[in-house]
Amino acid sequence: MKNSFKTVWAIALVILVSLSSCKKDDDPTPLSCNLATASAEFSEDSIDVTYKLEATGDAKISSFFYYDETGKVELQNPDFPKEIKITLTQQKSMQAGAVGNVTNGSIKVSFKATTETSNYEGIDQCSQSTN
């Protein structure tokens, strides 16, 4: 009886040690995101552009950039979602980008501009899913 009791305790101890050594990673490593849409040039006299910054889940964004009439505009630690509508005339370049990281979610930057004859669009995104 004593030997079977010791055997049961030894087996229970082995099982307990085995289970405790199986550790689930509760803190996955964030994915670093350095986003930039393709740059687009327009030839029309003026164009209305909509820039967007979107994020889902556990995302942190340290900077966001876009182009307005004065050139490149960079925002540090921007709030999101963000939508910026501007009209370009002299500045002929359109592009958006962001820097951040995401653990379980996504970050997306985009721009869209439409004229009677042309459509311009750029998108870049970064995502990570941990289950």
Least confident of 2-6, 28-32, 56-60, 96-100: 2-6
Q: Is residue 56 part of a domain?
A: yes
Between CA 82 and CA 33, with CA 36 as vertex, the angle to 5 degrees is 80
Q: What is the CATH number of the domain that holds 57?
A: 2.60.120
Q: What is the number of domains present in the chain? A: 1
Determine the average pLDDT of the residues in 5-31: 63
Q: Is residue 74 part of a domain?
A: yes
Q: Is residue 3 part of a domain?
A: no
Q: Is residue 10 part of a domain?
A: no
State which H helix or E strand residue 32 sits in: strand 31-36
Q: Is residue 4 part of a domain?
A: no
What pLDDT does residue 125 have?
Answer: 97
Domain that holds residue 81: 31-128
* pTM assigned to the model: 0.78
Q: Is residue 79 part of a domain?
A: yes
Phi/psi-derived region of residue 85, left when phi > 0, alpha when psi is between -120 and 50, beta in every other case:
beta
